[in-house]
Chains A and B, each alone.
Chain A
Amino acid sequence: MSAPLVEVSSISRSYGMRAGMFGRSMAVHAVDGVSLAIRKGETLGLVGESGSGKSTTGRIVLGLEPPDRGEVRFGGKPMAMPGTPAWRAQRAQMQMIFQDPLGALDRRLPVATQIREPLDIHGLGEPAGREERVRELLRAVELTPAHGGRYPGALSGGQRQRIVLARALATKPDFLVCDEPVSALDVSIQAQVVNLLADLQAQLGLTLLFISHDLRVVRQISNVVAVMYLGRIVELGSADDLFARPEHPYTQALVSASPAPGRRSAGRIVLAGDPPNPAARPQGCAFHPRCPHAIARCGSEVPALSAVGGDRQVACHLVTGPQAETRDAA
């Protein structure tokens, strides 16, 4: 087993937020003690609902914003200070892809120019060879050089996301953070992009952090999956196993809420209550107000993420605590 390329150790990040125009400023814990390790060439899927902190985690891992506490190590080395040459070199090895490709592209420039831009910025290759490299990148994302001459507005959503991907690959990065990269695309196009990502990963040995609310897509592309709820990881394990046998009540509800053709909704776990609000994080286990199995301890004590056998880790008193047996008996 290879050493992790990316190591995240208990990072936290909170934001000051005002409640209304006149309210007192308060801290919102977007990410609270998250640790992750992504092995080279593998994909870690990060799932959760809005407000779970998955996107903030992605931004911290990429060094787009600093953690308040904790550390991110890339290739065994800590992230360099932003703005330094070492940081720039590190950043060229890691790239990000967002949900909205149109927002990530400049509408006024032909897309080939935009793919070329990182090559010019980082001074990669001979200037004469860069045109060829752009064509190569276009082919890598299964587009033709003819597409390069077009403007973003003249491309479809799926094609734009390919352009964004080509630009991200220009610097030959080792690591990609993909934040909901296919959520805005139609199902058939989604499948094209997911397949393409998987192919490129296999060819180039890319390491991915894949953030999505869509369990199916995450399972398709990930080796390891982490489930986040209100800024914390509540369950972590290998993709197939985690979705087949979810241990945390929240993961169970998520898996059960994912609609499947050929299944009727009978037997689905429907959680009560509103989606989690990061500004009003409940005491104890943040999930306990919506948890169908919550016990007294859940309201007072934050469960730690602990190993429960195999490569699974769960943060739930009912799974890891002494009550675990009583629940099974019930």
Chain B
Amino acid sequence: MGRYFAIRIGRAALTIVLVVTFAFVVLRLSGDPALMILGPEAPPEVLAAFRKAWGLDDPIWFQYLDYFGAIAKGELGRSMRDGRPAIELVLERIPATLALTLPAFAFKVALGIPAGIYAALHRGSGIDRAVMMTAVAGFTVPSFVLALLLVLIFAVQLGWLPSGGQDSWRHAILPIVTLSLGGAAVLARFTRSAMLEVLGQPYIRTASAKGVPWRKVVTSHALPNAAIPTVTILGFMVGTLIAGAVVVESVFSWPGVGRLLVVAVANRDLAVVQCILLLVAMTMVTSNLIVDFLYGFLDPRLRAKGAHA
């Protein structure tokens, strides 16, 4: 079991290193931070001084090693715009993002999973078709389109809700709804197909043949099996809690991590961008580890393999 997780954790660490390296290279190849931050009219001496101050005139591999050395010491760099530690900037935005993504996650689960189960149990019925059509619409419509549509209806036409900002809980409603609908649609479809797959298995027939009432066949035989694939998609959704709201935050001017990222990228504020990416990679990787662990918990076949070690 230990070896199993050692391998997983090693792989996770490698993933993080690759993500950070990729971000590092792409950001440095795609524009000069000095020009971006100081503007094209800045005098050459100022630009040179800026580059020197941030180590931008060093060779790229030197910057790269320097960067990893700093991470090893727990230093994630400072923003080139205001000189504050990048991690501080990011951390203070996280609550705002979670204020959107956590409720949205809860809604996705509360909406998507029951809808998927219901659709599977009533396969081919009008409700199944309605759920599936909504689901397809839900994840084919891009979130910015959906966001604008909701703003158009509820803010512009009806005037019930504000179209942007972060002044009260009412401001959070439209962003949360936007985030929930797409995810709920994905979950509903996924849960439905997992359920259908399980309901077709011989052990479901065995349970019915034993005289288990259908409701109990579903709850104690089908659901635990359908949970195994569904956990994968849930894990992915947990991984997007920190940075899954980039588009929605931008549309609704919500001051979360996503908007910080957009601004930082536009400015080539390298330390901030890298700090966010590191954080995102870490949440993704952690949620994957949790999923692996849950598999072992849900599926005795995997657990047994671990026990042999």
Would you call A20 an interface residue if the criterion is a C-beta within 8 Å of the partner chain's C-beta atoms? yes
Interface segment, B86-94, B142-150, B190-198, B300-308?
Answer: B300-308
Would you call B309 an interface residue if the criterion is a C-beta within 8 Å of the partner chain's C-beta atoms? yes
16 inter-chain pairs at a CB distance below 8 angstroms, sorted by A residue, are A19-B308, A20-B304, A20-B305, A20-B308, A20-B309, A21-B305, A21-B306, A21-B308, A21-B309, A22-B1, A22-B3, A22-B4, A22-B305, A22-B308, A23-B308, A23-B309
For A1-21 the 0/1 string (1 means CB < 8 A from B) is 000000000000000000111
Instruction: Report chain A residues within 8 Å CB of B309.
Output: 20-23
Size class of the B contact interface (CB-based, 8 Å): under 10
Chain A, range 1-60, C-beta contacts under 8 Å to B: 19-23
Instruction: Report chain A residues within 8 Å CB of B3.
Output: 22
Apart from A21-B308, A22-B309, 7 more pairs, CB < 8 Å: A20-B309, A21-B305, A21-B306, A22-B1, A22-B3, A22-B4, A23-B308
A23 to B307, CA, bound (A): 10
Instruction: Report chain B residues within 8 Å CB of A22.
Output: 1, 3-4, 305-306, 308-309
A20 to B305, CA, bound (A): 5
Instruction: Report chain B residues within 8 Å CB of A23.
Output: 308-309
For B270-309 the 0/1 string (1 means CB < 8 A from A) is 0000000000000000000000000000000010111011
Residue of B nearest to A21 (CB): B305
A221 to B305, CA, bound (A): 43
Instruction: Report chain A residues within 8 Å CB of B4.
Output: 21-22
A21 to B7, CA, bound (A): 12
A23 to B1, CA, bound (A): 11
A19 to B304, CA, bound (A): 11
Chain B, range 14-28, C-beta contacts under 8 Å to A: none
Instruction: Report chain A residues within 8 Å CB of B302.
Output: 21
A129 to B308, CA, bound (A): 61
Residue of B nearest to A20 (CB): B308
For A256-282 the 0/1 string (1 means CB < 8 A from B) is 000000000000000000000000000
A326 to B1, CA, bound (A): 53
A90 to B302, CA, bound (A): 45
